[in-house]
Amino acid sequence: MRQTAGVGATEWIGAGSLAAWVWLALGQGFFWRTDVRLPARDDPERWPPVAVVVPARDEAAVLPVSLPSLLAQKYPGRAEVILVDDGSTDGTGELARELAGRGGLPLTVTAPGEPEPGWTGKLWAVRHGMALVRERGDAEYVLLTDADIAHAPDSLRELVAAARSAELDLVSQMARLRVVSFWERLIVPAFVYFFAQLYPFRWVNRPGARTAAAAGGCVLLRRAVAERAGLPDSIRHAVIDDVTLARAVRRAGGRIWLGLGDRVESVRPYAGLGTLWRMVSRSAYAQLRHNPLLLAGTVAGLALVYLAPPAALAAGLAAGSATTAALGGAAWAVMAGTYLPMLRYYGQPLWLAPLLPCTALLYLLMTVDSAVQHYRGRGAAWKGRTYGAPGAS
């Protein structure tokens, strides 16, 4: 009797997981597809002036690759680069000036001073850079790009052409992250996959849609809309600044677009599990609005969707229940199938697809750890600066 009841429970779990995966595959904006790239575009009659703002804090290790790619942009209009050295201790500012001496777009290196209370992450540096843009007065667009992002020579040109052609106020590309080490292979493609599952690009790109998101490493922003939305001051408390920025633009009546990048890539290495763990856990609980009920629901959801399929398969095989095994195996197969396009996009071996439950378990633990750190008063952190904890600034 106990065995029958146990098999029945696992059958229900397997059926629920399979139903969840069928819905995710077909009803969640086809999040798993990787064909959302820059929209069709034509060269504008006039190329508007653009300012590129790069917030940088202790980025000397990546600047020799990323900054020259910005200075070498083949943009037909007028463009300049503003690097905001936000309290670096590794010579970031000096290195930037040295790299600028090799030619290319004009570069300004500036420092914002210590952040005022209430400003999180890199937003203080972004504020300083955008204030300088306003003082100079004529930039129609601002490209916000992280210091670890390398751009192809035509990246800026293609971003502006897309914004002009489709009349977009925000164009954001998810930079292709570095995938070299074992842990990068296991975790990084899944990071983008999970992001797209939360914010399906097709939903984001619908005019007037409720879903809004951006990828902070590469955001081209129309300056007039940014000022209408009060950016970045209106989002100064945001831990997940890119998504919050996109929501602010949409609330201000702006049109936004988000897709995968073809011309932008991150050069930041994540050689070990620890650095990847910190990348995720620093903001995971903030994504859940520091709500214990949302945390519990997220843990349960991850368990049902990602952990239950292999568990149901194993339980069915152990108990001799073909139905349970078939349900679990089918759910696992759908899950792995939706992960294949992302692995192809990153040029990774397809045998990693069945390992997605292991990766999901790591993300579950990172999310729980994010909550633990929050309740221990440590808050989130960016480049050695803590915020979001009681008493933090």
What is the mean predicted confidence (pLDDT) over 218-229? 97
CA distances from 255 to 166, 204, 206, 209 (A): 9, 10, 9, 10
All structural domains of the chain, each given as residue ranges with its CATH number in brackets, are: 10-32+275-373 (no CATH), 50-181+189-270 (3.90.550.10)
Supply the pLDDT for residue 101: 85
pLDDT tens track for 169-219: 999 999 999 999 999 999 999 999 999 999 999 999 999 899 999 999 999
Type of residue found at 327:
L
Query: What is the Cα–Cα distance from 240 to 245, expressed in whole angstroms?
Result: 9
Tokens of 287: 């994504």
- Cα 354 to chain centroid, rounded: 23
Supply the pLDDT for residue 165: 97
Supply the pLDDT for residue 379: 64
Could you please report the per-residue DSSP string of 272-286?
SHHHHHHHHHHHHHH
Res 389 pLDDT > 90:
no
Indicate the SS3 state at residue 266. Answer: strand
Query: What is the Cα–Cα distance from 195 to 179, expressed in whole angstroms?
Result: 17
Supply the pLDDT for residue 393: 34
Res 231 pLDDT > 60:
yes
Burial of 167: CB neighbours in 10 Å, binned 0-12, 13-18, 19+: exposed
Residues in CB range of 161: below 8 A, 6 or more apart: 41, 42, 43, 44
pLDDT tens track for 309-342: 999 999 999 999 999 999 999 999 999 999 999 9
Res 352 pLDDT > 50:
yes
Res 7 pLDDT > 70:
no
Percent of all residues in the chain with a pLDDT value above 70, rounded to a whole number: 95
Query: What is the Cα–Cα distance from 240 to 283, expressed in whole angstroms?
Result: 7
Type of residue found at 335:
M
Q: What is the pTM of this model?
A: 0.94
pLDDT tens track for 95-143: 999 999 888 999 999 999 899 988 887 999 999 999 999 999 899 999 9
Indicate the SS3 state at residue 106. Answer: coil
Report yes or no: 257 and 151 within 8 Å, Cβ to Cβ: no
CA distances from 1 to 7, 8, 10, 14, 326 (A): 10, 11, 14, 20, 22
Query: What is the Cα–Cα distance from 169 to 252, expressed in whole angstroms?
Result: 10
